[in-house]
Amino acid sequence: MGLGWQGLSIPLPEDWNLAAFSGDWGSGYVRAEGPGDSALELKWKHEKSSPSLKGLLKSYLKQLHKAAGRKKSEVSLKEKPKALPSVPQGSGVSQTFSWQSGGVYGIGAVWHCLECRRIVLVQVTALSEMTANALARRIIPKIGDHPEGDLCRWSVYDFDFTVPKEFRLEKQSLRSGHLSMEFRHKGRTVVLERYGPANVLLKRDRLSDWATAVKPIFDRLKPYKYKKETVEGEPGHDAVRLSGRRKAVKDLLRRAGLWMIRMQPPDALRARVWNCEPSNRIVMVMVEARPRDVEALTDRIAAGVRCHTGEPERDSAAS
Ligand SMILES: [Zn+2]
Ligand SMILES: [Zn+2]
């Protein structure tokens, strides 16, 4: 599935994972790591006019080598290496490069996307030239630097979903037992979470009890008066649906005030929590939006979650 992050899609090999990240939609950095000290680093920022990529590249490499504690004289830099003949389609100006320093081989590219106006600077590093070249050829030309269509795909640690692209990531917590990402746009909130392993979490509880009692969800539900129903999802996906509205007096007053002028505040809640048996994980989608939009938005986001792939996972934690 690769990595989907802040509108970027990076087709990483299977056994690679996100190792570090910073920034936001406007500008940021990700680092992914694979086996054998191989790594990918990518930086992005928005720039309306066509930038001088050469200057950018120079300052980036300077930073990079400073960080690695290497002197400039110890780095041999090549422009337009044969191993990387292309950058992603649709980019305007671009520049490819490779370098070698102290047993590390780097190969990368920098380009300016004419459509989204992102500047992307990416490089892969490996301990052999062959590996670095192969990785660069495989990954770099297929990087997507902006979402296609009106949904943005996010994919991290095999948790793969889409949210409308105008939503921005506000908070995240990426622990293996609990992944949580919270997005916002114009008063609307979308939260996606993944918990696991499900067979351990549900050892004593039924899903419908667990779904409203587990602390992160319990805390999120506090401001709402809600109903809960159990539904049969697709096979292997027992689900709980929650629907509600904010219940504080100030919320009721706000609603009444807006009703007078025929408006709705984004204070309606929907949530779907399902137990994905094939992946042995529990997924939650929670949306707060206006009553007239909330159901459709929740359905759309829940439908875009790829919670499991291919072969079911072994039930290793079962007794
Ligand atoms: Zn773009
Ligand atoms: Zn599933």
What CATH number should be reported for the domain holding residue 80? 3.40.1000
Clarify whether residues 157 and 299 are in a common domain: yes
Ligand 1 center from residue 7 Cα (angstroms): 9
Asked whether residue 264 is domain-assigned, the answer is yes
Ligand 1 center from residue 65 Cα (angstroms): 28
Clarify whether residues 287 and 263 are in a common domain: yes
Determine the Cα–Cα distance for residues 3 and 18; give it in Å rounded to an integer. 7
Asked whether residue 3 is domain-assigned, the answer is no
State the pLDDT at residue 147. 96
CA distances from 56 to 7, 14, 255 (A): 22, 31, 51
Q: Whole domain around residue 133: which residue ranges? A: 12-142
Nearest to 105 by CA among 74, 85, 126: 126
Asked whether residue 52 is domain-assigned, the answer is yes
Clarify whether residues 134 and 202 are in a common domain: no
Ligand 1 center from residue 316 Cα (angstroms): 42
> Within 13 Å and on the Cβ side, how many CA atoms surround 108?
25
59's tokens: 């300052």
Any idea which ligand is nearest the CA of 302? 2
Ligand 1 center from residue 22 Cα (angstroms): 19
pLDDT digits (tens, 9 = 90+) for 33-60: 999 999 999 999 998 887 788 787 788 7
Region 305-313: mean pLDDT is 74
Could you give the 3-state DSSP secondary structure of residue 184? Answer: strand
One-letter amino acid for residue 229 of the chain:
E
Ligand 1 center from residue 174 Cα (angstroms): 26
State the pLDDT at residue 310. 66
Determine the Cα–Cα distance for residues 294 and 316; give it in Å rounded to an integer. 38
| pLDDT mean across residues, the chain | 90
Which residues, in sequence order, are CB contacts of 279 under 8 Å at separation 6+?
158, 196, 307, 308, 309, 312, 313
Any idea which ligand is nearest the CA of 233? 2
Clarify whether residues 128 and 96 are in a common domain: yes
pLDDT digits (tens, 9 = 90+) for 280-307: 999 999 999 999 999 999 999 999 999 9
Residues with Cβ within 5 Å of ion ligand 1? Answer: 113, 115-116, 145-146
Asked whether residue 4 is domain-assigned, the answer is no
Is 122 buried (19+), middle (13-18) or exposed (0-12) by CB count in 10 A? buried
119's tokens: 């500047």
Region 257-278: mean pLDDT is 93
Ligand 2 center from residue 110 Cα (angstroms): 37
Which residues, in sequence order, are CB contacts of 59 under 8 Å at separation 6+?
none
- pLDDT-derived band of residue 318, with 50, 70 and 90 as boundaries? very low
Determine the Cα–Cα distance for residues 197 and 175; give it in Å rounded to an integer. 12
Asked whether residue 315 carries a pLDDT value surpassing 50, the answer given is no
One-letter amino acid for residue 9 of the chain:
S
State the pLDDT at residue 73. 54
Determine the Cα–Cα distance for residues 97 and 170; give it in Å rounded to an integer. 34
Tell me the pTM: 0.89
51 DSSP assignment: P
State the pLDDT at residue 295. 97
Nearest to 68 by CA among 125, 27, 131: 125
- Total structural domains in the chain? 2
Could you give the 3-state DSSP secondary structure of residue 218? Answer: helix
Domain boundary among 142, 161, 177: 142
Clarify whether residues 257 and 133 are in a common domain: no
Clarify whether residues 199 and 118 are in a common domain: no
State the pLDDT at residue 79. 82
State the pLDDT at residue 9. 96
Three-state SS annotation for 106-135: EEEEEEEECCCCEEEEEEEEECCHHHHHHH
Determine the Cα–Cα distance for residues 312 and 295; give it in Å rounded to an integer. 30
DSSP 3-state percent helix, strand, coil across the chain (nearest 5): 25, 45, 35
Ligand 2 center from residue 155 Cα (angstroms): 15
pLDDT digits (tens, 9 = 90+) for 140-187: 999 999 999 999 999 999 999 999 999 999 999 999 899 999 999 999
pLDDT digits (tens, 9 = 90+) for 59-95: 877 776 676 666 555 667 788 888 888 888 777 788 8
State the pLDDT at residue 67. 64
Could you tell me whether strands 281-289 and 188-195 are parallel, antiparallel, or unpaired per DSSP bridges? antiparallel
Ligand 1 center from residue 145 Cα (angstroms): 5
| Rounded percentage of the chain residues whose pLDDT exceeds 90 | 71
State the pLDDT at residue 311. 52
Region 103-124: mean pLDDT is 93
Determine the Cα–Cα distance for residues 307 and 270; give it in Å rounded to an integer. 19
- pLDDT-derived band of residue 260, with 50, 70 and 90 as boundaries? confident
What CATH number should be reported for the domain holding residue 288? 3.40.1000.10
